[in-house]
Amino acid sequence: MFKYLRVQIVHPCQAKCAWCSTHFKNPRFSTLHKSGEAEEYHDLYREVAAKYKPEEIFVSGGEPLLYPGIDQFLRDLAEHTEKIHIFTSYQFNEKTMERFAAMDLPREKIVLNHTPIYFEPENWHKLTHGFPFETYLHNVRLAVKVPILKRFKFIINHSGFVEEIARFQKLVDPDETCEISLKMMNDQGDGIGVETMQNTAVRVRERLGDLDAVLEKAGWSNRPRPQTSADLMRPVIESGDVTKCIYRDEPLELRLSFYRGGEEDGKKILKYRYCPYFPADFGHKFHLGKDSIEKLGKNFVKGPFRDHCQGCRMLHYCDAADRPKKIEKKKVSL
């Protein structure tokens, strides 16, 4: 039923990226991993994949490459899908990258996805709270050598976006196993990034008009650019009209992310949504061991989630007059 499924590995990352709020879940992820309870979430993902057989599965985190069971998890998912995207930050020691490179994996189905941020040491150190750029770069270069498709997703909001891609090409020397994709900055929980999104809205709208020309200008000549949610959301961003959103019309995506678990009451709950851009505080709740998996499909058809679309995060990119009036609490400078 769903074309795409996105799941969140319950395993901590070792980073504190300034643009992201997921690392606040790290302590809880650690506890659940140590107690073995994280596996209940991962098993549920396996069951959902078997039930809905999505064309593509997106494995996020936490940090999937640090999760010791990642190879078996990917082999299991591969039985139910054509393509598996892994999101990785490359922010870990070199051994982790070498370990991944040596794993027995369904390589022809895997794409390693990564979002570069500026790709130069000074901004990188600032935005990652000092993760060594050299180690990061070394891991990216090692990844290029692994016979798996790599996708590097550049954020089109950045003023220095063209230079960013040029630097990336110079430092990494990507080969035919690498492709470039484009994405927009996304509001994270608690209003992180709203102000930056609004401040970059004119630039984003300009670039969305012809994303291929933007890439050509940046000198990228390898594989063709894959379609992304930036393409899909263009009609909404240009009009401010959420009824033009394809995610509302078709069961395009099911996203499962950790909500809570391992506390004293023993409740284990995932949040689920049907697109990448619902308001950060919104999500239906799925109780592990209590709710049936059918609920995830039925609720898309039933449709109450559509009532929340006026809080769509992509509306921050519309003309100022159409934007939500909520005042943001935090900002990230890009």
Ligand X SMILES: C[S@@+](CC[C@H](N)C(=O)[O-])C[C@H]1O[C@@H](n2cnc3c(N)ncnc32)[C@H](O)[C@@H]1O
Task: Tell me which residues touch ligand X (CB under 6 A).
Answer: 13, 19-20, 22, 60-61, 63, 87-89, 115, 185-186, 188, 193
| 193: partner contacted, choices ligand X, ligand SF4, none (Cβ within 5-8 A by kind) | ligand X
| DSSP state letter for 192 | B
**Cα separation values, 25 from 92, 115, 126, 165, Å:** 18, 20, 21, 31
Smallest gap from Cβ 266 to ligand X, in A, equals 26
- Kindly tell me which of 20 and 214 has the beta carbon lying closer to ligand X: 20
91 sits near ligand SF4 (criterion: CB under 6 A): yes
Assigned token pair, 314: 């992509």
Long-range contacts at 302-308 (CB < 8 A, ≥ 24 apart): 305/273, 305/274, 305/278, 306/248, 308/278, 308/279, 308/282
- 78 vs 315, beta carbon nearer ligand SF4: 315
273-292 footprint of ligand SF4 as x/- string (CB under 6 A) = --x-xx--------------
The reply to whether 242 sits near ligand SF4 by the rule CB under 6 A is yes
Kindly state the smallest distance separating residue 185's Cβ from ligand SF4, in Å: 12
The closest alpha carbon to 287, from 264, 267, 266, 273, belongs to 267
Q: Is 318 in the site for ligand SF4 (CB under 6 A)?
A: no
Q: Is 15 in the site for ligand SF4 (CB under 6 A)?
A: yes
What DSSP string runs through 289-302? TTS-THHHHHHHHH
Pairing of strands 284-287, 4-8: unpaired
Residues sharing a CB contact under 8 Å with residue 105, sequence separation 6 or more, in sequence order: 71, 74, 75, 148
CA 332 to CA 334: how far, in whole Å? 6
Cβ proximity to ligand SF4: between 52 and 317 the closer is 317
> Phi-psi region for residue 173, left (φ > 0), alpha (ψ -120 to 50) or beta?
left
Contact pick of 309, 316, 317, 318 for ligand SF4 (by CB under 6 A): 309
**Residue 223 CB, nearest approach to ligand SF4 (Å):** 24
DSSP 17-68: -TT--GGGGHHHHHHHHHHTTHHHHHHHHHHHHHHH--SEEEEESS-GGG-T
The option from ligand X, ligand SF4, none interacting with 181 (CB < 5 to 8 A, set by class) reads none
Q: Which stretch binds ligand SF4 (CB under 6 A): 68-76, 263-271, 289-297, 306-314?
A: 306-314
Partner that binds at residue 186, options ligand X, ligand SF4, none, CB closer than 5 to 8 Å by kind: ligand X
Partner whose footprint covers residue 247, from ligand SF4, ligand X, none (CB < 5 to 8 Å by kind): ligand SF4
List residues near ligand SF4 by CB under 6 A.
Answer: 13, 15-17, 20, 22-23, 61, 63, 89, 91, 236, 242, 245, 247-248, 275, 277-278, 309, 312, 314
